[in-house]
Amino acid sequence: MPLLIKYLNKMDIIGIDVHKTHKPEIPEMGGWGILLGLVTSLTIAIFLFPKYTVPFISFLCVIIIAGVIGIYDDLRRLNPLAKPILLLFAVIPLIIFEVVVPRPLLPIIGQTRLTLVYWIVLPLAIAIPANAVNMLDVFNGSMAASCIIATFALLICGILMDSMIAIILCIILIGSLLAFFQFNKYPAKIFSGDVGSLTTGAAVGAIAIIGRLEIAVIIALMPHIMNAFYFISSSGGLKEGRTLKRPTQVFPDGKMGISPHEDAPLTLTRLLLARGPLSETDIVKHLCILGVVSAILAIISILLIPKVI
């Protein structure tokens, strides 16, 4: 990460931290570190656990596709509709390598047989988490911290379900995010860019399919999904965030409050600020608390799944 920060500064790949009063310039595309960390760890895991080579390679293909889309968006700016559409194709490796089991496990009900419906909604399994995580990557450490919490919950779920594949993939993702978080937490020394958030969201979605943790992922990512739903519904569809009014404003003391613009999109952050201004670190703490609640509910959902005989 220090080498990446130095390189991005040298290449003038920087962004403005708009949630600071002095608007510092911060290197972007730090998600390269997350992507490289995942690729390196997965390569090692393939040699350590050869019997899981096929699911590992399929996972690797998914995050590379999402990462490439993120890189292009960071450098060229994709159309707001193009990004989610392209991410639909990231699920293809999971289908090609035949790691998809169209029988999701649900609380109380147990194993279901949704052969037709499952295949119809399958492309959304990568696109929705990737875009939802991307939309919550707005504050120092918010994306990394919230996804560490969600993935840790999935790790516990993997242990409860005795899914070694899910356990290994969760540990790899948590490790990459923890390393990145050290440089992205307040005050951030680097931003993830779309390459980081899309890669992370796609990785969580891939874990859901490969590890058969679909319901747990939906619940663990509920803060991200809620935030995305609020944003899309209030802004009238998928639109480039840079073209809309900011949902928050920064006061001279550094705290943030609700935007004075009535046409600004509704977000989870705006709901958190409804009771009054908060500092950036407090906002991230509140988001993490919501993440912990969702994580606990995700674990409970797995405990309620009857054992498959």
Same domain, 266 and 154: no
Same domain, 120 and 245: no
Instruction: Read off the DSSP letter of residue 52.
Output: G
Instruction: Read off the DSSP letter of residue 306.
Output: P
Same domain, 184 and 255: no
Tokens of 65: 């596709």
Whether residue 187 is preceded by a cis peptide bond, meaning omega within 30 degrees of 0, is: yes
Picking from 221, 293, 236, 222, the residue whose alpha carbon sits closest to that of residue 266 is 236
Average pLDDT score over the chain: 94
pLDDT in tens, 240-290: 666 678 889 999 999 999 988 878 889 999 999 999 999 999 999 999 999
> Strands, DSSP E only, in 128-252?
248-250
Tally of domains within the chain: 2
Residue 84's domain spans which residues?
26-236+281-303
Same domain, 170 and 34: yes
User: Is residue 6 included in any domain, yes or no?
Assistant: no
The pTM of this model reads 0.94
pLDDT in tens, 74-116: 999 888 889 999 999 999 999 999 999 999 989 988 888 877 8
User: Is residue 8 included in any domain, yes or no?
Assistant: no
Per-position DSSP letters for 252-269, written without gaps between them: TTS-EEE-S-TTSPP-HH
**Is 184's pLDDT higher than 90?**
yes
What kind and span of H or E run contains 23?
none
Same domain, 249 and 137: no
